[in-house]
Structure 1
Amino acid sequence: MLLLRRMNKEGSPPHGIRFPSTHSSHAKLSCVLAPFVTILVLASNGCWLFLFFPHHLSPSIESPTDALREASPDLYAGACQLWRGEWVPDQGPSPYTKTCPYLGASENCLQNGRSDTGYLHWRWKPADCELSRFDAGRFLTLLRTKKLMLIGDSLARNQMQALVCTLAQVEDPIHAHDEFREQTWRFSSYDFTVTFIFSPFLVNYTVEASNDTIAGQTDLYKLHLDIPEWRWVRQLAAYDVAIISTGYWYHRRCLYYVSNSLIGGNSNSGLSSKIIKSHAALGITLRSALKYITTKFEGITMLRTVTVDHFENGEWFAGGSCNQTGPYLSGDGVVPPVPWMNQMINRIQTKEFDRARASMQDPMKLHLLNVTYSMHLRPDGHPGRYRIMTPDSPSNDCLHWCEPGPVDLWNQFVLHTLEHIL
């Protein structure tokens, strides 16, 4: 019997969850087509599962960037592909310090004892343009009287915390709303609001505890892939900018529904048939969410792509660690390829982005924050063992990002984009 249960906080994956190993040279390409019966079931619900499987993918590629599909270029004058580039040494100051009171405790690596500060002294240099430092005053002036919402999982919260701390160098915000699933900050002098909505799947879902354990997981998530989550939908119209993201939660134990009918589940779901790859379900979600946004939302939307974790010698709760102290640099030899699963998710995200933008009357209202490759190059940017520990937490966090750290690049991308369209 399944018992309804409130979801636990998402700071770490449940015991046993395995995002496919990201840094093993022996990663194997699994079959990407669901069984024929699954395709028939999906087709009956108006879904085309095969559209979410790029052809000829390989976990072994010649160039790290070859793995990532090029999205349509931005439309403003002078636009460049920000995601192509490299990290270069930089001795400039961090946008904020460990004393920022708005930092996440688990991401405040310096406060938690990290002594190697070299990871702070790099900046991202795009291949074909210049990326300015983040100017908090410029950002607040640009967004005066406006409201920005970040929608997603704990990595979206990671970005929100970094943004609030950066803007706090100009003005201390008022914490207008504070709960686990929703946080709102107001910068009164600029009449500017930042809100974070915890929506790890972007679509409606329930979570239940079952009597069985699969891959170390008992919680079972039931996702309605065609229904954007009410938590952000009910507020979206009041905002001017929305940044959406999702990815890692799709590797939890999930059943998938379309039109309120079960269409299948992932390999951890407990189903003996109708197995649907998690990235295929993610593709359906993105199409649903972007269709809703591009037809109902009058503001600017940015889709942030999947990041990259850097666990070595194991996964969460299995001895995984991340002890690198510098980025991957092309001058040091061969840069490891972008992990296969991250390649797949990035391709699906850029594909659905392109599809949504092509359907819009005003495509300038939809933009891509393609951070996958830049984050792949930063194995040194995670909290690792320098996080607040609790008895049920992993000994190393190689998924989230130190604040300050590489995560601040995401907000540079946001400002760069807004400067050209507002």
Structure 2
Amino acid sequence: MALLLLHSQSSCSLLVVLWLVLVQTHMGWSAIIMSLKNHHSHQHHRRQPMFQTNQSTCALFAGTWVRDDSYPFYQSSDCPLIDAEFNCQMYGRPDTDYLKYRWRPLNCELPRFNGIEFLLKMRGKTVMFVGDSLGRNQWESLICMVSASARGALTQMIRGDPLSTFKFLDYGVSLSFYRAPYLVDIDVAQGKRILRLDDISGNGNSWLNADVLSFNTGHWWTHKGSLQGWDYMETGGQYYQDMDRVAALEKGLSTWANWVDANVDRTRTRVFFLSISPTHYNPSEWNAGATTTTTKNCYGETAPMSGVSMYPVGAYPEQMRVVDTIIRDMQSPAYLLDITMLSELRKDGHPSIYSGDLSPEQRSNPARSADCSHWCLPGLPDTWNQLFYAALFF
């Protein structure tokens, strides 16, 4: 399915100007500029164009959410591998309108995802997602999307830690998830977990044979207390009980970027990086800066943000800056799947209390227990994969 694009540069420019005027009340100029800047800055790195015409004719990650009753791509009941923490319909979410939104980029239409085409084009290849539970969110979404098109195909699931793989045996296609929340290595020494900011070889050796690699990290770098995943950080031969978390992320991502440049054969392996997935724990982000609201977090939210004067800043602006800087400085930059801004608008897409990971007591207290970090499946990660599909094949 071809993308619908304008074919003359002059008409494209006029439409872009008109679009910017129309959406000024719905999107901040900074968000539009960031998305356009990101889109253009990577076009000289891609081995094949994302679009069939001039890439500058579409700002893929700036746009609007529109209702589309042909969505979702699949039903949760038809995809039993969805983890309990993402399976909102199974665990009692009463509304379904959040499933009926499609992302419309600036001045083009995304190709509709086709699972059979995906399998045919990826025949004999491996796609590997590497990172934290947001990467697992996207991995499970992709399996469900492909499976919905390939009903009856012979499949195999191999679950493990850190590596799990779902295989479409008739096509020789493997979709894998490798759990590495920080990307860099964690070792255990004398009963203590050591986060090695300068070392990634222990994890990286498992990624070398993939044909497509999609990385993500971010949320775990901010965790403290019982959620913290390490006891000490080590860099340059020195051990630290703590350090500036943004500085630590920058060191870890620099190690990752250097490893990719030195070890991944870019003539055979496509490399993607999923930008920071936003959370929605602070309602003031979507209530025009209000300090008092009727809700405490994403609980009860059933529709995307609308009528906002600009994109909310969210909780991770410094992490976004680090990711962008590190990728731009790579010898052969990864493709940044820049989902942050479009996902910011989807305050309605989180599991909230409709998660199998919560006890009945926790569900009764959404102000404290709602999950506003992960995403329901079906749901927003399906759009991430539709963008991933477009970037891979168009």
Q: Please give the TM-score of this superposition, normalised by the length of structure 2.
A: 0.76
In structure 2, relative to structure 1, the CA distance for the partners of 1:410 and 1:336 (3 Å cut) is closer
CA distance in 1, matches of 2:313, 2:247: 19
Residue 168 of structure 1 aligns to a residue whose secondary structure is helix
1:410 deviates by: 1.1
Check whether the contact 1:310–1:322 (CA below 8 A) recurs between aligned residues: no
1:104 to 80, 83, 92: 83
What is residue 202 of structure 1 aligned with on the other side? Answer: 183
Counting matched residue pairs gives 327
Letter in 1 for 2:62: R
Letter in 2 for 1:305: S
What is residue 42 of structure 2 aligned with on the other side? Answer: 73
Higher relative contact order (CA 8 A, sep 6+): 1
Q: Does 1:379 align with 2:355?
A: no
2:379 to 395, 398, 405: 405
1:251 deviates by: 1.0
Structure 1 or 2: more helix by fraction = 2
Check whether the contact 1:186–1:192 (CA below 8 A) recurs between aligned residues: yes
CA distance in 2, matches of 1:173, 1:305: 33
CA distance in 1, matches of 2:209, 2:304: 40
Q: Does 1:256 align with 2:240?
A: no
CA distance in 2, matches of 1:192, 1:373: 31
1:66 deviates by: 6.2
Q: Does 1:245 align with 2:216?
A: yes
Check whether the contact 1:148–1:239 (CA below 8 A) recurs between aligned residues: yes
- Output aligned runs, 1:311-326, within 5 Å: 311-312=281-282, 320-326=297-303
Letter in 1 for 2:382: D
Letter in 1 for 2:375: W
1:352 deviates by: 1.1
- Output aligned runs, 1:351-390, within 5 Å: 351-356=325-330, 359-360=331-332, 366-390=334-358
1:169-210, Cα deviation, whole Å (9 max, x unpaired):
214453342124221111011110011000000001146999
Letter in 2 for 1:400: H
Residue 150 of structure 1 aligns to a residue whose secondary structure is strand
What is residue 195 of structure 2 aligned with on the other side? Answer: 223
Letter in 2 for 1:65: A
1:345-396, Cα deviation, whole Å (9 max, x unpaired):
112111111111xx23xx6xx3110110011010000011111144597631
1:85 deviates by: 1.2
Cα RMSD of the aligned pairs, angstroms, is: 2.6
2:278 to 290, 302, 308: 308
Structure 1 or 2: more strand by fraction = 1
Larger deviation: 119-128 or 374-383? 119-128
In structure 2, relative to structure 1, the CA distance for the partners of 1:156 and 1:73 (3 Å cut) is same
Letter in 1 for 2:42: P
1:44-69, Cα deviation, whole Å (9 max, x unpaired):
xxxxxxxxxxxxxxxxx964616947
Check whether the contact 1:307–1:375 (CA below 8 A) recurs between aligned residues: yes
Q: Please give the TM-score of this superposition, normalised by the length of structure 1.
A: 0.71
In structure 2, relative to structure 1, the CA distance for the partners of 1:81 and 1:226 (3 Å cut) is farther
1:338 to 313, 320, 323: 313
In structure 2, relative to structure 1, the CA distance for the partners of 1:198 and 1:131 (3 Å cut) is same
- Output aligned runs, 1:171-186, within 5 Å: 171=151, 172=153, 174-186=155-167
Letter in 1 for 2:76: K
What is residue 6 of structure 1 aligned with on the other side? Answer: none
Identity of aligned residues (%): 28
What is residue 139 of structure 2 aligned with on the other side? Answer: 160
What is residue 117 of structure 2 aligned with on the other side? Answer: 138
Unpaired runs of 5+ in structure 1?
A: 1-60, 211-219, 270-274
Residue 213 of structure 2 aligns to a residue whose secondary structure is strand
Check whether the contact 2:28–2:309 (CA below 8 A) recurs between aligned residues: no
Check whether the contact 2:275–2:339 (CA below 8 A) recurs between aligned residues: yes
- Output aligned runs, 1:6-85, within 5 Å: 63=29, 65=31, 68=34, 70-71=37-38, 72-75=41-44, 76=49, 78-79=54-55, 80-85=58-63
What is residue 88 of structure 1 aligned with on the other side? Answer: 66
What is residue 246 of structure 2 aligned with on the other side? Answer: 279
CA distance in 2, matches of 1:322, 1:282: 30
